[in-house]
């Protein structure tokens, strides 16, 4: 079974905590986990920082998408207003007005 990201983060944190709690026991059995604990802490901090950066970028992308869609709708509405204006001036059966209306299909 594959772990999702929150479970992986929890696993790393639990490993750090367990190794810190059992450091004395592991040293008594010939293994000093100090360097490994430090490495895991650094990697965990880096992973947290990257996650925060990713979340910020996702929020920025969502905002940029909303802004893009709003700008497009403003442009589309203005172009539609031009069709209505020209139609009012030339009449809805004018060839140019007919061509403009085809663009929206």
- The reply to whether 45 falls in a domain is yes
Q: Please check whether residue 5 lies inside any domain of the structure.
A: no
Answer yes or no: is 15 within a domain: yes
Mean pLDDT in residue range 19-28: 97
Flag whether 2 is in a domain.
no
Q: Is residue 95 part of a domain?
A: yes
Would you say residue 105 has pLDDT above 80? Answer: no
Average pLDDT over residues 11-35: 97
Distance (Å, whole) CA 7 – CA 14: 10
Q: What domain range is 75 assigned to?
A: 10-103
The pTM of the whole model exceeds 0.85:
no
Q: What is the pLDDT of residues 36-92, one digit of tens each?
A: 999 999 999 999 999 999 999 999 999 999 999 999 999 999 999 999 999 999 999
Assess if residue 1 is contained within a domain.
Answer: no
Confidence of residue 1 (pLDDT cuts 50, 70, 90): low
How many domains, the chain? 1
Residue 53 domain-assigned (yes or no): yes
- Give the DSSP letter string of 22-69: THHHHHHTT---HHHHHHHHHHHHHHHHHHHHHHHHHHHHHHHHHHHH
Residue 3 falls inside a structural domain: no
């Amino acid at each position: 079974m594959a772990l999702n990201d929150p479970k992986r983060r929890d696993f790393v944190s639990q490993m750090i905590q367990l190794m810190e709690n059992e450091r004395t026991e592991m040293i008594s059995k010939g293994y000093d986990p100090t360097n490994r604990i430090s490495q895991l802490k650094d990697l965990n901090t880096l992973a947290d920082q990257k996650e925060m950066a990713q979340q910020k970028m996702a929020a920025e992308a969502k905002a940029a998408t909303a802004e893009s869609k709003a700008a497009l709708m403003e442009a589309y509405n203005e172009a539609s207003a031009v069709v209505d204006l020209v139609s009012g001036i030339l009449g809805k059966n004018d060839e140019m007005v007919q061509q403009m209306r085809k663009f929206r299909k």
